[in-house]
Structure 1
Amino acid sequence: MGLVRLVFICCFVFVYGENKHDGSIKHDDPMLNTETPNYKEYCVIGAGPGGLQIAYFLENAGRDYLVFEKDHMAGSFFQKYPIHRRLLSINKIFTGKTNKEFNMRHDWNSLISNDDSLKFGKYSKEFYPNADSLLEYLNDYATKLNLKVQYNSTMHDILKRKDGLFQMWDQHNNAYTCKYMIVATGVSEPIAPKFAGDHLIEGYENLSTNLSDYKGQSVFIFGRGNAANDVANFINGVTAVVHMLGRSPTRLA
């Protein structure tokens, strides 16, 4: 049997919420300009690393805020991604230095806090750690720092009212209003370029993690970001050749 050429679109996928409601709430209702249901000064959408980090600063500043997370845990993106479970963010614990700022530059996973127990190096010693360690870390970060996170809340139809406030609804049509809206949901949908034969592409979100499926294959990867390198690193030992194509040269942090 000849070599089979596989083509992948490599990107992270994270869809936060659907943009719809049941029609019982009218977006042009003038009452939207006078009522402030479930008001918070700051609304943060998403309890991933970005959402938790801004929540920490809001908590320390004594601000009125709430983080909305669609899943039952913080960092839910990392339950599935990266699909091969090995992070590409380094966890260099032993730098030979005592300077905290220098050491933090070699720690790509820890969030900023005033709690020294919340350093990622206490959760994993691996240079390229497992994604499950990051999940554990993020949920401990949210719990130990008493961050205000409302789980199982899928928000949709975010709009800015005439009075300058933001309003949105959850999956139960409960309305929320806030003065400042911070969206920390990451990439919202797959990046899929259109060209002849694109129906043959297999997306990163659906790739097999069984190495035997790639033995002796010539593999062409569209993209040179984290997801693309995740796939290339995983299959490189069993493939005949791996080609990677990107719109620009690879940029490292």
Structure 2
Amino acid sequence: MADSQHRYVIVGAGPAGVQLSYYLQQHGADYLTLEREHAPGGFFRRFPRHRRLISLNKVHTDSTDPEIRLRWDWNTLLNDDPELLFTKFSDEYLPAADDLVRYLAEFQRVHRLNVRYGTAVQRITRTGDGFTLRTDRGEVRAECVVVAAGWGHPFVPDIKGIEHAIGYEDMEINPKAYDDQRVLIIGKGNSAFETASAILGRASMVHLASRQPLRLAWNTKHPGDVRGQYGAILDSYQFKTLHSVLDCTIDEIRPVDGRFEVRITYTHAQGETAVLDYHTVLRCTGFRMDTGIFDDTSRPELIRDGRMPGLRPDWQSTNVDDLYFAGTIAQARDVKHASSPFIDGFRYNLRTFTRMLRERYEGTPLPFTVAQADAVSLTKLMLDRVNWSSALWTQFEYLCDVFVRDDATGDFHHFEDLPEDYAVERFAAATHWYTLALRWGRDDYGDVFAIERHPTPDRARESAFIHPVIRRYRGGHLLVEHHLLEDLLAEWRRPDRHVTPLTEFLEQDLTSGP
């Protein structure tokens, strides 16, 4: 195939690559997406192994507003076709992975995205004016490269004898294969609990083990931590059925007479050690990014045990200019926090990212609207946004609306859905500006299901549930933070609790000077 050259080249046509392709195509951008498989969503043809997603699909809601409904539709890619909603492909609350594969294929068919399938990227080289991508079908040149290839390889922890463990990617998924077996699962994330749940009624003993304590999503508010549907193993642990969840260091896995001796050191027992006996050891420790496509000129800096690339606030590699990352591997700025590893999070990140790309490479300014600098108007605008935006809802504490005062006119420039760390960097010279975001509140409670509340506006800072927070900056310095009271139905419209307190805060702040 003859060489080709494009302003943007996207590597990978999973959900992130497909979403970004759509955004660029809508703007008439010069882009090409390269995908080694012959259809989109290759990762989800194999994973999760037990074929059930943890991303919610809430078909039935009180709202008829398409934007608000997206708050609970975690699988739809943003687009202008009202028929291309994932809720039209499945009505299951926890849908099947095959339905997502089918949805992505239809998304590609309808929008006719510029994806070159069956094209494997073999090497990315940084050149003076961009990049050269060598593929098995010829070379492609790009001004900038966006890697949206998702996870490439399993993460294999440094444990003596780890080669004796069967990886999540290779393990037998028929539960009957574990009848009467003592099974050790290395890992305490969702893939480990997915596996444990599948074999719980067949194995004689299931242990999940890792160094780090269990992180439950209902405590951390992060959808990537262990989800409630896997609670049966925790019940079994507490009810002394011999199924257990262990905080320990695994020191060695050693085969002995067709079984495995596993030496561990308990984390919370003053260095106590033990030798445990298992028939099978399974490795469910997650994935890492594939770095094999980068040569020395383009190799990104990696973080978190080498699992993912380090990123600047605009999703650009920390050490390679014009190399960006998108999708689940582009979570470094809010890792273990908002929903950037998931479709319902990165679909909004990528919408903002597209605007950033167009500003840098096409000279199209970052869009904004003008808002009047009076407290009543700003209050209405801010409350309209937090009551409606699915981006602010899903990407809590990460994406925010930004209101920057124009010193010449006194009005505010309103930018939607910017990462807050990016805004702090971009508006470092602004003398008066606000961020508007949804945030979780205090976490000094013992039981997440029995939180003592203080439902008065003057104690809104003590809210524990998600609620609006307005921050006032001068340059890169945070000056003041104003909280609005939490609300059970996430409707911040009450005059006494929301409208008046925000109006009074803005009236005072707008007249307080720079």
Task: Classify the TM-score, shorter chain.
Answer: 0.7 to 0.9
Q: Name the SS for the 2:177 alignment partner.
A: helix
Is 1:169 aligned with 2:138?
Answer: no
Is 1:237 aligned with 2:201?
Answer: yes
Compared with structure 1, are the counterparts of its residues 140 and 241 closer, same or farther at alpha carbon in structure 2 (3 Å cutoff)? same
Q: Name the SS for the 2:105 alignment partner.
A: helix
- Which residue pairs with 2:503 in the alignment? none
1:24-103 superposed matches below 5 A: 37-103=3-69
Of residues 241-250 and 148-157 in structure 1, the stretch that sits farther from structure 2 once superposed is: 241-250
Partners of 2:182 and 2:82 in 1: CA distance: 47
Is 1:116 aligned with 2:79?
Answer: no
Extract structure 1 runs of 4+ deviating beyond 4 A.
none
Partners of 2:192 and 2:110 in 1: CA distance: 34
Bigger CA radius of gyration: 2
Of residues 110-119 and 237-246 in structure 1, the stretch that sits farther from structure 2 once superposed is: 237-246
Shift of 1:110: 0.8
Of residues 237-246 and 86-95 in structure 1, the stretch that sits farther from structure 2 once superposed is: 237-246
- Which residue pairs with 1:201 in the alignment? 165
Q: Which amino acid aligns with 2:17?
A: G
Shift of 1:250: 4.3
Partners of 2:201 and 2:70 in 1: CA distance: 32
Compared with structure 1, are the counterparts of its residues 240 and 98 closer, same or farther at alpha carbon in structure 2 (3 Å cutoff)? farther
Shift of 1:68: 0.5
Compared with structure 1, are the counterparts of its residues 91 and 204 closer, same or farther at alpha carbon in structure 2 (3 Å cutoff)? same
- Counterpart among 144, 157, 170 of residue 180 in structure 1: 144
- Counterpart among 158, 180, 184 of residue 216 in structure 1: 180
- Which residue pairs with 1:25 in the alignment? none
CA deviation map 1:87-127 (0-9, x unaligned): 11111111233343332121111111111111011111111
Of residues 178-187 and 93-102 in structure 1, the stretch that sits farther from structure 2 once superposed is: 93-102
CA deviation map 1:55-109 (0-9, x unaligned): 1110111100011010111111111111111111111111233343332121111
Task: Tell whether the 8 Å contact from 1:40 to 1:179 is kept in structure 2 after alignment.
Answer: yes
1:140-159 superposed matches below 5 A: 140-159=106-125
Compared with structure 1, are the counterparts of its residues 108 and 169 closer, same or farther at alpha carbon in structure 2 (3 Å cutoff)? same
Shift of 1:234: 1.8
Partners of 2:209 and 2:67 in 1: CA distance: 36
- Which residue pairs with 1:28 in the alignment? none
Structure 1 residue ranges without an equivalent (≥5): 1-35
Partners of 2:204 and 2:71 in 1: CA distance: 36
Partners of 1:129 and 1:105 in 2: CA distance: 16
Compared with structure 1, are the counterparts of its residues 231 and 171 closer, same or farther at alpha carbon in structure 2 (3 Å cutoff)? same
Q: Which amino acid aligns with 2:40?
A: A
Partners of 1:65 and 1:216 in 2: CA distance: 54
Of residues 121-130 and 95-104 in structure 1, the stretch that sits farther from structure 2 once superposed is: 95-104
Structure 2 residue ranges without an equivalent (≥5): 224-514
Q: Which amino acid aligns with 1:52?
A: V
CA deviation map 1:163-186 (0-9, x unaligned): 2311111114x1110111000111
- Which residue pairs with 2:460 in the alignment? none
TM-score (norm 2): 0.40
Q: Which amino acid aligns with 1:213?
A: A
Shift of 1:196: 2.2
Q: Which amino acid aligns with 2:37?
A: D
The alignment of Structure 1 onto Structure 2 pairs a total of residues equal to 216
Identical positions, percent: 34
Say which structure, 1 or 2, has more relative contact order (CA 8 Å, 6+ apart): 1
Partners of 1:241 and 1:145 in 2: CA distance: 49
TM-score (norm 1): 0.80
Partners of 2:99 and 2:162 in 1: CA distance: 36
